[in-house]
Amino acid sequence: MKVLGLETSCDETGIAIYDTDQGLLAHKIYTQVAQHAEYGGVVPELASRDHIQKTLPLIEETLKAADLTKQDLDAIAFTSGPGLVGALMAGATIARSLAYALNIPALGVHHMEGHLLAPMLEEKQPQMPFVALLVSGGHTQLVRVDGIGEYKLLGESLDDAAGEAFDKAAKMIGLPYPGGPYIAKLATQGNPDAGIQFPRPMTDRPGLNFSFSGLKTAFLTAVHDALDRDGFNDQFQADVALAFEQAIVDTLVIKCRRALEQEGLTQLIIAGGVSANKRLQQQLQIQLAKVGGSVFYARPEFCTDNGAMIAFAGAQRLLAGQSSPLNLSIRARWPLAELDPITEGTK
């Protein structure tokens, strides 16, 4: 089965074709980052318009790269939530119209299930059950995964997501949007002995929830203190970026270890934009190895939003006989635990 995947939940237009026999055949991504950077964040109306302009040309490019025509497609998967309403509607309308014209099934895919399953596109894959850390600009969640659609929420952020905290901290010291990669790059020049200390929030109490708003406030306080003493210079920026990155990474690692111990599991996957952070990947590998655990993650282009993860996730459900009606509504909010499990037909 050849599945066309469309991802338009936010500010990336991602298109891919996944073959259930041959694997990923082709994928294309167009990012709107430069367009939104001057506003310091995603402007929903601009995102929607850009998806409308870019989706069909990217579909044609992806088909050409896979040496296929539209008539070779067996099904279409598209992101139906969660995400920006206008952006989701753009992709869903194109996907459902194309499926209707080709007389093939279409399936609305949960955006975070796509992220969760993205590591399955790699040669090195975990075996279920495992714990997943979904960490991005909009989500920070720990989920127990017993099968596709069999998800148990273990913990989540009570306020800012980790990626959102990175973006806001970057803005405080004048770095471009999105801030996470810029903080990480700047942190490589930081001095770990500079004496800047940030809390590891909610690690001193039981439970698996997160909170990053206080950490963000501590970062702002450190910046104001540096400004007051005329110490806000290039080296301070690097040092405070390093201390902030270390605090977020340490917090995530502590909670991941705790989740694995609580669930009696040894395998962890990390997914979402922040999963591309090298310090997070390295620290999880080091710390989990100490307790006999292992970590899995997708290649960098599949950590952020992309069509491949939607095509793959959709293919698993399409193989199980699922599809969506043409009048399917998109959902700006959609708890992962509401998804139906599939137990047969996955490949």
Distance between CA 248 and CA 215 in Å, rounded? 8
Q: Which segments are annotated as binding site for Fe cation? A: 111, 115, 305
The sheet carrying 23-31 orders its strands as 23-31, 12-19, 2-7, 75-81, 106-110
Structure tokens, 62: 């992806």
The CA distance from 138 to 272, in Å, is 9
Residue 181 vs residues 6, 141, 163, 210, 273: alpha-carbon distances, Å: 25, 20, 10, 21, 10
Tokens 């270890």 locate to 257
Amino acid at 283: Q
Q: Which segments are annotated as binding site for substrate?
A: 134-138, 167, 180, 277
Q: Residue 25's Cα: distance from chain center in Å? A: 22
Annotated binding site: 111, 115, 134-138, 167, 180, 277, 305
- Helix, coil or strand: residue 134: strand
Query: How far is 41 from 222, CA to CA, in rounded Å?
Result: 23
